[in-house]
Amino acid sequence: MSTSEGHGPSVRTGQAMKTKFCLVRHGSTDWNIEGRIQGCTDTTLNQQGRREVSELAQSLKRQDWEFIITSELQRAKETGEIISDTLQIPLFSYKGLREREFGPLEGLTLHEIKERYPGWGDGDLFLPELESRQELKTRALKVMGLLANLFPARQLIIVSHGGFLRAFFRAGLGLERAAPANAEKVEVVWDGAWKVLHGGEKNDL
């Protein structure tokens, strides 16, 4: 399976074909509002999240997006369904786009995590079922590389999660920025290397 460093030319002429991605973070959930770690806990959108995604979907009209691939978690799938209904394009789901697995941290706020696990924030904790940052970056790069190889010269909307997208920005683009806001989009392209088109301006503080 290829990564962004392992892709070769995709066409007979020796020139890599461009695949355009609109990377979208799912709309808001109650746990987003409460500041709780969601990970792979299968939370759903709230009314605010549905409004956010509806507004995003309207902004994506008449942009020639061909289909949508979402994480299999409900908050991402529902986000994709709203966009799919608005744009009238097909929707698929893929488990590889799921959020980072946070194991025992899921459902906790950052304050609660720091109380229970004082080392959080200084580096990776080694806890049962907690996906490490490096594992997440490796997965994100692998999954995005796979999609770029499978769909050369297409225009895809990808609906995933803040942790996954941030890991991809770091691993694929060398970009240090905060996770996208809920229902925020970032457009990137694969043409032999990963490049940001729109939405990569927010740097970490």
Q: Could you tell me which CATH number the domain at 19-101+131-198 has?
A: 3.40.50.1240
- Tell me, rounded to whole angstroms, the distance of Cα 167 from its chain centroid: 9
User: In which element (H, E) is residue 134 found?
Assistant: helix 133-150
pLDDT of residue 13: 44
Question: What pLDDT is stored for residue 127 in this prediction?
Answer: 86
Mean pLDDT by 10 residues, the chain (205 residues): 34 66 98 97 98 98 96 98 98 98 95 86 76 96 97 97 97 92 97 87 45
Other residues' Cβ atoms within 10 Å of the Cβ of residue 171: 22
What's the confidence (pLDDT) of residue 36? Answer: 97
Alpha-carbon gap, residue 39 to 94, rounded angstroms: 16
Residues 79, 56: Cα–Cα separation, whole Å = 10
Owner of token pair 């009238």: 88
The structure's pTM equals 0.88
The pLDDT value recorded for residue 200 is 60
Half-sphere exposure of 193 (CA within 13 A, CB side): 4
Helical ranges in 24-105 per DSSP H: 30-34, 47-59, 74-87
The tokens for 176 are 């240090």
Q: How far apart are CA 71 and CA 158, in angstroms?
A: 8
Active site residues: 26, 99
**Residue 15: per-residue pLDDT:** 58
| Residues with Cβ within 8 Å of residue 142, at least 6 apart in sequence | 1, 3, 96
182 close to 52: Cβ distance less than 8 angstroms = yes
Q: Is 97:76 a contact under the CB 8 Å cutoff?
A: yes
CA neighbours closer than 13 Å in the CB half-sphere of residue 173? 24
Q: Kind and range of the H or E element at 188? A: strand 185-190
Quote the CA–CA distance of 19 and 139 in Å, as a whole number.
19
Distance of alpha carbon 55 from its chain centroid, rounded?
19
